[in-house]
């Protein structure tokens, strides 16, 4: 009996820059963007930070990332060259714009391909950043796509300057926040802040999901004083509800400065409203 060989993957895609790095400043985030390739191979890379940190939130837009029939897929993001490969982890797959251009929301990624531990900042030096000059997106059953980013030292320096400005905009001392002994610590599990029964009725009926990144301001007594949406998808109804519930339920032990004294600070995280219908 003869068996047909599985179709070979198309050749890996290697794309050179087709535009310069652009820094986008917002009151709640910093975004680096750059285009690569042209025509059907045009790809736009976005690197976001919503607070001073080592990790980045990575997203890519372009036809080379077309995913046929899934909304979630394990995808690896490898910075390099010469670094150990990263482990694939679940990413959100979608489309943007009137022409339904494919988009991958790849989530928090480390420039040295290390596992990301939420709320724990890993150290990376400017020298290590400068040694990075490419990014590869890979997933099973799809061709690898490599973007020639060029040395990342200067873009990351610009990103740090932007996040420092963010903290100042929030009326906090960037130096004090950088050297804090501990950030605000949730008293209860963050997973208990939002519950399945909170799902908006209309969105539940229509099968709508959402991903929301948020920032809470926490005073020196541990009280949540403000809620800000840093990034969101889909219906604004989710944003309003998320902040309403977080302001009601999120309780903290206050942040501590370098001497262990309570200080006002911020807490950044995200929530996924996933409709299982």
Write the pLDDT tens digit of every residue in 76-99: 999 999 999 999 988 888 888 888
**CB-based contacts of 197, cutoff 8 Å, min separation 6:** none
**Do 18 and 142 belong to one domain?**
yes
Q: Report CA-CA distances (Å) from 217 to 183, 231, 256, 261, 265.
A: 11, 16, 14, 17, 6
A 10 A CB-CB count for 39 gives 7
Is 4 a residue whose pLDDT tops 60? Answer: no
**What does the pLDDT average to over 167-192?**
93
Peptide bond into 81 cis (omega under 30): yes
- Taking the C-alpha atoms of residue 78 and residue 111, their distance in angstroms, rounded to an integer, is 8
Q: Decide if 140 contacts 8 (C-beta within 8 A).
A: no
Last residue of a domain, one of 144, 169, 194: 169
Do both 220 and 200 map to the same domain? Answer: yes
The residue with tokens 């709640």 is 28
Residue 262 covered by a domain: yes
User: Which ranges constitute the DSSP H helices of 43-138?
Assistant: 126-130
Q: What is the pLDDT of residues 115-147, one digit of tens each?
A: 987 656 678 999 999 999 999 999 888 889 999
Tell me the torsion sign for CA atoms 68, 7, 58, 101: negative
- pTM for the whole thing? 0.84
Q: Which helix H or strand E contains 134, and what residues bound it?
A: strand 134-138
Is 4 inside any structural domain? Answer: no
Single out the residue in 121, 137, 169 at which a domain terminates. 169
| Domain-located, residue 221 | yes
Q: Which domain holds residue 244?
A: 174-273
């Amino acid at each position: 009996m003869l068996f047909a060989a599985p179709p070979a993957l198309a050749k890996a895609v290697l794309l050179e820059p087709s535009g310069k790095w652009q820094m986008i400043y917002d009151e709640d985030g910093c975004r680096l963007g750059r285009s690569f390739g042209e025509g059907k191979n045009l790809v736009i890379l976005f690197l976001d930070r919503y607070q001073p940190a080592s990790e980045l939130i990575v997203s890519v837009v372009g036809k080379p990332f077309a995913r046929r029939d899934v909304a979630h897929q394990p995808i690896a993001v490898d910075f390099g060259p010469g670094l150990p490969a990263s482990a694939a982890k679940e990413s959100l797959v979608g489309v943007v714009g009137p022409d339904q251009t494919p988009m991958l929301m790849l989530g928090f990624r480390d420039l040295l391909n290390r596992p990301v531990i939420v709320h724990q900042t890993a150290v990376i030096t400017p020298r290590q950043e400068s040694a990075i000059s490419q990014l590869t997106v890979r997933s099973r059953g799809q061709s690898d796509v490599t973007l020639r980013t060029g040395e990342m030292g200067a873009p990351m320096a610009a990103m740090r300057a932007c996040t420092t400005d963010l903290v100042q905009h929030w009326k906090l001392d960037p130096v004090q926040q950088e050297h804090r002994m501990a950030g605000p610590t949730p008293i209860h599990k963050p997973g208990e802040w939002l519950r399945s029964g909170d799902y908006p009725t209309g969105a539940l009926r229509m099968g709508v999901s959402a991903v929301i990144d948020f920032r809470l301001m926490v005073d020196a007594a541990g009280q949540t004083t403000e809620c800000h949406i840093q990034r969101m998808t889909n219906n604004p109804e989710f944003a309003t509800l998320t902040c309403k519930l977080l302001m009601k339920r999120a309780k903290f032990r206050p942040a501590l400065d370098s001497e262990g004294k309570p200080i006002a600070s911020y807490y950044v995280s995200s929530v996924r409203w996933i409709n299982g219908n």
